[in-house]
Structure 1
Amino acid sequence: MKSVIAVCSLLVATIAAAPLETRDAPSVTFALSNDRSGAYAGASFSADGTDKTIASLFGTSSVASGGQIRATSAQLTAFPQTISCVLKNNGATVTTFTAQHTYFDLDGNPSAATPVDVTGAVINCHA
């Protein structure tokens, strides 16, 4: 009887220690546009709640030139419906993207196309 209880206890401990579900973070595609130069680039990454630097995502793309990444707008182009992404530039929150808010004019003036340096920016997404 003691061996049956010991085996059952071991089985319960093993089951309790195993994760109920292993789930990969969904993918997000984020894009930058420079309406002055005509450059556009998108980057896909995991929405795992970690900071992704704009330099690592776009440093070799068409929106990068002369060591700077300059864009007039930012947009989520592919995402799960539960997405939340915070874009920060040099530590200051620029905007939060959601499934309902997918586009942002970086210079804040919809009548102008003034490129903004986002080389020091990060984006952090989670679903």
Structure 2
Amino acid sequence: MKSIAALALSLLATSISASPVIPTATIAFANDQSGAQGSATIPEDGSVQNIWSLYGSTKIAAGGAVVASSAQLTSFQANTNCVIKNANWVVVGTLTAEHTYLDLDGTSNSLVPLNLGGWTVSCTV
């Protein structure tokens, strides 16, 4: 009886350890005017993540909105690819190991904080 229990336990341990590990990336959004920033971990499985859901409890959330002017990929794989889209599903920019910083308003001479309500991010490896 003990050997059956030991076998069952080892099979359970094997099945748990065989679960696929989904890699993740970490993106920090910042409001460069106020100095507030918030970080969140995003699964690199291609799933679309709502920015409000990820950052709504961070310091860039104020008055019911998530407000930021830039994004930076801070933890990632060599082949990470994260796409940020606005509320109209238009690609705002892509973060990769070679391109880790993104000015969200698209103008290089200013950092205008934007309301990221309805924005999304998805990452793949």
Q: Which residue of 1 aligns with 2:72?
A: 75
Q: Report the equivalent of 2:52.
A: 55
Aligned mate of 1:65, from 53, 56, 62: 62
**1:38 aligned residue:** 35
1:103 aligned onto 2:101: yes
**Partner AA of 1:95 in structure 2:** G
**CA distance, structure 2, for counterparts of residue 110 and residue 35 of structure 1:** 13
SS across alignment from 2:92: strand
- Superposition RMSD in Å: 1.3
- Compute the TM-score of the two structures, normalised by the length of structure 1: 0.79
| Equivalent position amino acid for 1:96 in 2 | T
Displacement after TM superposition at 1:24 (Å): 1.5
Identical-pair percentage: 40
CA distance in 2, matches of 1:97, 1:41: 16
* Alignment TM-score, normalising by the size of structure 2: 0.80
| Distance apart, 1:118 and its partner CA | 1.0
**Gap runs ≥5 in structure 1:** 1-20
Q: CA deviation at 1:110?
A: 3.0
Query: Which has the greater radius of gyration?
Result: 1
Q: Deviations over 1:58-109 (max 9, x none)?
A: 0111101111111110111000001111110111111111111111011222
Aligned to 2:9: none
User: Match of 1:7?
Assistant: none
Gaps of 5+ in 2: 1-17
Looking at secondary structure, tell me which structure has more strand per residue. Answer: 1
- Which residue is equivalent to 1:4? none
Looking at structure 1, the residues matched to 118 and 104 of structure 2 have their Cα atoms a distance apart, in angstroms, of 14
Report the count of equivalent residues.
107
How far apart, CA to CA, are the structure 2 residues paired with 1:55 and 1:105? Answer: 18
